[in-house]
Amino acid sequence: MKTRITELFDIEHPIIQGGMHYVGLAELASAVSNAGGLGILTGLTQPTPKDLAREIARCREMTDKPFGVNLTFLPTVNSPDYPGYVDAIVDGGVRIVETAGRNPQEHLPKLKQAGVRIIHKCTSVRHALKAQKIGCDAVSVDGFECGGHPGEDDIPNMILLPRAAEELEIPFVSSGGMADARSLVASLALGAEGMNMGTRFIATKEAPVHDNVKQAIVAASELDTRLVMRPLRNTERVLNNAAVERVLQKERDLGDKLKFEDIYNEVAGVYPRIMREGEMDAGAWSCGMVAGLIHDIPTCEELVGRIMRDAEALIRSRLGGLLG
């Protein structure tokens, strides 16, 4: 299957594994790339630029296919060493970067000069248009269904994707609610050139997370996620657990007096305990509604292969048959 995304990133299949904290390590990124998709290392999971450089080198030992690095620009007082991370990406020979969070414009010149292609994650058409204007090569359009931060507009992909298709000139992929061949075919029908999957790739054999995390995703239904931090306008979709219930109770009790410090213990620094140790109630962790469509834990090769085979069957047989 050829699309503008497969051609832009020189990949076989229009499937991207998005950056995920404490998930986007070399084991997963290389497995996705080896399966013909685009694997992504999560830059800020690495404590320092030197650590990222080592992870890039480790990933390169595991695959000779294209892979990228996610760089999320956070609204923090003590900013990470973004110039250092950019240097690690460029010096490591990485030619694809997924940016997210705040506007990445100040870092684009150095990346573009090195021949890096940029795909920026957006939760609205207006942000996607801004990404196009500042020189991003593609965007990942993230609908309200997504795990992590869906923005504050609450627009699901059945509306957001065709709106993006109406407005954008650069190619885009769907993100949020993507799990299988049906997701891919629907995304293509709505104007996308491929799809980005996060939660679905956590529930794979190569994902370097505790088995408790994978089993929690398989066991969850589409009703088991919650939105936290809405009063702070930093909304995050997470899988429900005891810590999430505490956050929601604090939000109800404190109302507009809620401060980040009130929920710090439930949302800050919890990922190592969850992803590595399997402490499922340690805090809030990002998970999409798409968990309701995830029923197994395949290898990345099995997953990507299945998606592409089933997508072809959907297009040729079911959809084509409807015209017969």
pLDDT attached to residue 324: 75
Q: Where would I find the H helices in the chain?
A: 4-9, 26-34, 49-62, 82-91, 108-113, 125-134, 157-167, 181-189, 199-202, 211-219, 242-254, 264-267, 271, 300-313, 320-322
DSSP 270-282: -HIIIIIT--TTS
For residue 11, give the H/E element and its range.
none
Q: Name 98's bridge partners.
A: 70, 119
Max CA pair span of the chain: 61
Indicate the SS3 state at residue 98.
strand
- pTM of the predicted protein model: 0.96
pLDDT attached to residue 260: 95
CA 53 to chain centre: 21
What Rg value do the Cα atoms of the chain yield, rounded? 19
Which residue ranges does the chain devote to CATH 3.20.20.70?
4-207
Indicate the SS3 state at residue 317.
helix
Q: Indicate the fold that domain 4-207 takes in CATH.
A: TIM Barrel (3.20.20)
**Predicted confidence pLDDT, tens digits, the chain (324 residues):** 999 999 999 999 999 999 999 999 999 999 999 999 999 999 999 999 999 999 999 999 999 999 999 999 987 768 899 999 999 999 999 999 999 999 999 999 999 999 999 999 999 999 999 999 999 999 999 999 999 999 999 999 999 999 999 999 999 999 999 999 999 999 999 999 999 999 999 999 999 999 999 999 999 999 999 999 999 999 999 999 999 999 999 999 999 999 999 999 999 999 999 999 999 999 999 999 999 999 999 999 999 999 999 999 999 999 999 987
